[in-house]
Structure formats: C-alpha cells, structure tokens
A and B are shown apart, each in its own frame.
Chain A
Amino acid sequence: DQQVKQNSPSLSVQEGRISILNCDYTNSMFDYFLWYKKYPAEGPTFLISISSIKDKNEDGRFTVFLNKSAKHLSLHIVPSQPGDSAVYFCAALFQGAQKLVFGQGTRLTINP
C-alpha cells in the first residue's frame, strides 16, 4: 500500500525552463511534507518542506505547492539548471511522528 505516490518515474526538461514534479498522497493524517534530492552513489539530501497549514513555500528557485483537498503536492524548479538533474523524492510525516514515508522517486534530467 503506497501512501505516497510519484507517478512519473522520469521527467526531461530543457535548461532554463520550469520543472514540475508531482506527488500524491492517500492518508489525510499526513501534516508535513518534504522533498529530497538524490544524486547517484549519494544519500538523499533535504531540499524543501511545507506544513499542511500552508499552501506554498518558496526557497530560491524551488517552490512547493500543497493542495490538501486534492491530496497533491508539487515541486517547481525555475529556472532549471543542469545541476538539478537528480532523483527527487517526495516524503510525508504524520503528526507527532518522525517516520518519513517516501514516494518512489522521479528522475529529472535537465537538457542543455
């Protein structure tokens, strides 16, 4: 039972354009969401997060949007750069818990 789903295994975007990565979740008890970035042969690194009381959080080129009614969140990267090529994982936390539930990941490729 996959509670956090990233339905696109891969995404290819031209350098300078916007990258949009999507994530859906099924459990309405999740109240905190995070995005991680992973390069080959390295562990995932934290990128950005959002609380369920917000619908948007921005950090430089990265913005996360949360639509609670649709149980959907997205990560926008603009402008996309070659160094953004990586696997991106969406993760969710239950209230009061520390247990991160991850999606399957989306491989983003930025083409020059």
Chain B
Amino acid sequence: DAGVIQSPRHEVTEMGQEVTLRCKPISGHNSLFWYRQTMMRGLELLIYFNNNVPIDDSGMPEDRFSAKMPNASFSTLKIQPSEPRDSAVYFCASSSRRRGEAFFGQGTRLTVV
C-alpha cells in the first residue's frame, strides 16, 4: 500500500484565496483525521471522520475551515478565505483499529502571504 497520500505537498497562496487540501487514506481504514502542526501548539486535531461521517469537529478553528469525506477513499480540507495565521503543516491520517495507531501522510505545507 502507498500509505496515506496528501496533495499538494506545498501550497503558497495569497490572503483571501480559497485553499483546498486533499487526502487519500489507506484502503480499508475506516477513520480519517486532519491535524495541523504549529510550533506553538504542536499537533492539533482539527476534525475526524469515522466511516465517512464527521464525528468530532471541535478542533476546527473557525467557520472559514470546512472538511468533507464524500467516500471512503477521499477527503478534503478547505479554507476560505485563507489568512496568514493559517500557515502551518496540515497532516491527514487514517486508522483501522479503535486502539490502533494512526498512519500519517507526508503533510501539506501551507503558506498564506
């Protein structure tokens, strides 16, 4: 298996623009997570899905952030409009067991200028 695949790897955009991050989880995994990594707060969970259904979105910082999982093999995280403080590395992860470890993608480094 190729692992969790995220695209793009890097994104530079101007403030106010819409940004869409994409994730393909590992086949057969039923849980998908979106994390954001910053220097100050480390890895923060933004939202997670179980069987394509959003379970907990309490970490989504503002209404500017939205996430979807239309099917078991694809998820998106959208920021509209983007702001410089959204600059961070965004990770997608998937897992298959309740107590199992999550497998992370390589991340998308977002820079909003």
Contacts and interface: CB of A to CB of B under 8 A. Distances in A.
A101 B101 CA distance: 12
A43 B4 contact: yes
B48 A99 contact: yes
Contacts of A32: 99
A98 B50 contact: yes
A109 interface: no
Nearest to B44: A102
Contact of A49 (B55, B95, B101, B106): B101
B48 to A, nearest CB: 6
Interface in A52-104: 89, 91, 93, 96, 98-104
Interface in B94-111: 95, 98-99, 101-107
Contacts of B102: 46, 100
B1 to A, nearest CB: 14
Contacts of A46: 101-103
Given A102-B43, A104-B42, A43 B99 contact: no
Interface residues of B, number: 26
Contact of A93 (B91, B93, B99, B105): B99
A96 to B, nearest CB: 8
Q: Tell me the dominant secondary structure on chain B's binding face.
A: strand
A98 B101 contact: no
Contact of A44 (B43, B45, B56, B95): B43
29 contacts: A2-B41, A6-B42, A32-B99, A34-B101, A41-B106, A42-B106, A42-B107, A43-B105, A43-B107, A44-B91, A44-B104, A45-B104, A46-B102, A49-B101, A89-B42, A89-B43, A93-B99, A98-B48, A98-B50, A98-B98, A99-B45, A100-B33, A101-B45, A102-B35, A102-B42, A102-B43, A102-B44, A103-B42, A105-B42
Interface of A: 2, 6, 32, 34, 36, 41-46, 49, 89, 91, 93, 96, 98-105
